[in-house]
Amino acid sequence: MAEIERERMEYDVVIVGAGPSGLAAAIRLKQLAAAAGSDLAVCIVEKGSEVGAHILSGAVFEPRALNELIPDWRERGAPLVTPAAADRFLYLTERRAIRLPTPPQMHNRGNYIISLGNLCRWLAQQAEELGVEIYPGFAAAEVLYDEAGRVRGVATGDMGIGRDGEPTDRYTPGVELIARETLFAEGCRGSLTKTLVARFGLRDGSDPQTYGIGLKELWEVPPAQHQPGLVVHTVGWPLASDTYGGSFLYHLENNQVAVGFVVGLDYWNPFLNPFEEFQRFKTHPAIRRYFEGGRRISYGARAISEGGFQSVPRLDFPGGALIGDTAGFLNVPKIKGSHTAMKSGMVAAETVFARLNGDGAAEVRRAIEASWIWPELYRVRNIRPSFRLGLWGGIAYSAFDTYVMGGRAPWTFHHHPDNKSLVPASSAPPIDYPRPDGKISFDRLSSVFISNTNHEEDQPAHLKLRHPEKAITVNYRLYDSPEQRYCPAGVYEIVEDAGTGGKRLQINAQNCVHCKTCDIKDPLQNIDWVVPEGGGGPNYPNM
């Protein structure tokens, strides 16, 4: 087939990803242009079928950045309706729940319990009213460079390429979005960000990024079990004390409760299954009482950037910058990243606006370091890595670092890459998980069903193995294929190979909820997550 030329559209700024960081950046750019009496063409591409479709968060939302961006958000009807009213921090043993003092970072007075997906939908309306063009259903699949190696935009993926790599009768070529500046706001472990980091050496001089996997369900519970504004966090059971993680339970409006479980991806036992840990956690007597007689509405999962201060890479490269979680501004002890993601988008917008207006020396990284993001992340930088000492060692060190050192200890702990932490299966104890009861706990397939995940089946797999044979020679033989367990959507299965009589890895790519865990945790980094056709993936209603 003759090559069809791609359509080309030109903008001042193109933003990849309509999460809080990308939307805040777009709004700030338009505000700055309006204040300067100039016009600026700004476009956002979003791989979800609509804005919010791929957004999954807790979420207790700290409104600091939103107050700065849209001070009259109340009058404009922002979906922040449930103020956080009470904080509880519990340590669980198998049967008991012991209340601990709430760490200062986890006090939520002044914050709101929200659906981040719905906040993004509202931010998208505000952006569109200012003239931002938003294209949901389009995945940015390729970074475009000029002859000098400067980023000059992105290309959206071709649609209608078949499983065999050949165009089908649905074929439509991708579109080139050309920009003077391109901001990458892809969220945790962005697929294009990976290529930029490699090409421009953006991680030279910073620690590796580290991650957690966050699983979440949204429930509607009987009114007597619902307490709007209640925020509960737990540590301890069912995780062993050498595995970082814990849960959240947020009571929203309309008898809804968001419940979630986070596991640090530096866990060592290949038999650990974050989904099963989450299901087991809900059966604890202190937790199941919230859900009995309730109805599960939605399920999903997403990785979280946990490296913080010492893992923030260089942000600038010729022609653009990284913003939000793809760079990694999440404050782990707070378990909050939306406010810093938004602020990073706003700061980047101001910097890029200056660059577009002739200030060639303006740098996003420097501007972020001068903003409130930097001291916020600096003060908590040692807390996450201190949990290498185990749960109690981490809690003790965190109390010392916070109360005695005030976050200003003259040392900084460093991070190690998460893919290096697994031990061989032969030296790890298998974990026996209880069977789901179908009322409080569930299996993975019925869970993925309510994430409304959908992908066009006739397309090349978007989960690529760099060395296919290593799925068996290394992952299976050495680690008992941990991807069978850490994938929250059951995408990876070891099956009998009828041809050889041995084993093979089957990849059910159509179930993928785009959490990015496999791209992070695979021991050899053999799995490369690339965008599927735009519009594919989960369709979260209000996660």
* List of residues contacting ligand SF4 (CB under 6 A): 463, 487-489, 491, 512-518, 529
Size of the site for ligand FAD (CB under 6 A): 44
Residue 186 as a binder of ligand FAD (CB under 6 A): the answer is yes
Residue 339 as a binder of ligand FAD (CB under 6 A): the answer is yes
Residue 54 as a binder of ligand FAD (CB under 6 A): the answer is yes
Token pair in block for residue 332? 């782990």
What letter would DSSP give residue 233?
A: E
Nearest distance from C-beta of residue 512 to ligand SF4, angstroms: 3
Which residue is listed with tokens 């050949």? 166
Token pair in block for residue 523? 């021991």
Residue 335 as a binder of ligand FAD (CB under 6 A): the answer is yes
Candidates 45-53, 96-104, 311-319, 450-458; binding stretch for ligand FAD (CB under 6 A): 45-53
3-state helix, strand, coil in the chain (%, to 5): 30, 25, 45
Candidates 47-55, 267-275, 502-510, 519-527; binding stretch for ligand FAD (CB under 6 A): 47-55
Residue 216 contacts which entry, ligand FAD, ligand SF4, none (Cβ below 5-8 A, type-dependent): ligand FAD
Which residue is listed with tokens 């782990």? 332
- In angstroms, the CA 127 to CA 28 distance is 9
- In angstroms, the CA 493 to CA 499 distance is 17
CA 370 to the chain's CA centroid: 25
First to last CA, the chain: 42
CB closer to ligand FAD, 48 vs 436: 48
CB closer to ligand SF4, 207 vs 522: 522
Query: Can you tell me which of 274, 294, 307, 324 binds ligand FAD, judged by CB under 6 A?
Result: 324
| Amino acid (one-letter) located at 138 | F
CB closer to ligand SF4, 28 vs 54: 54
User: Which residues from 136-165 bind ligand FAD, rule CB under 6 A?
Assistant: 139-140
Residue 192 as a binder of ligand FAD (CB under 6 A): the answer is yes
Residue 83 CB: number of other CB atoms within 10 A? 13
Candidates 46-54, 201-209, 380-388, 458-466; binding stretch for ligand FAD (CB under 6 A): 46-54
**Bridge-based pairing state of the strands 97-100 and 503-507:** unpaired
CB closer to ligand SF4, 347 vs 489: 489
Residue 513 contacts which entry, ligand SF4, ligand FAD, none (Cβ below 5-8 A, type-dependent): ligand SF4
Between CA 331 and CA 327, with CA 135 as vertex, the angle to 5 degrees is: 25
Length of the chain (residues): 543
Candidates 77-85, 86-94, 337-345, 451-459; binding stretch for ligand FAD (CB under 6 A): 337-345
Nearest distance from C-beta of residue 379 to ligand FAD, angstroms: 17
Residue 531 as a binder of ligand FAD (CB under 6 A): the answer is yes
Which residues make Cβ contacts (< 8 Å) with residue 187, sequence separation at least 6?
17, 19, 21, 302, 324, 325, 326
Nearest distance from C-beta of residue 38 to ligand FAD, angstroms: 26
Note whether 313 and 206 are within 8 A (CB): yes
Candidates 198-206, 333-341, 414-422, 491-499; binding stretch for ligand FAD (CB under 6 A): 333-341
Q: CA-based Rg of the chain, rounded to a whole angstrom?
A: 23
492-503 in b/e form (b: 16+ CB < 10 A) is: bebeeeeeeeee
Residues contributing to the site for ligand FAD (CB under 6 A): 16-22, 45-48, 54-61, 116, 139-140, 185-188, 190-192, 214, 216, 260, 302, 304, 324-325, 330, 335-339, 341, 531
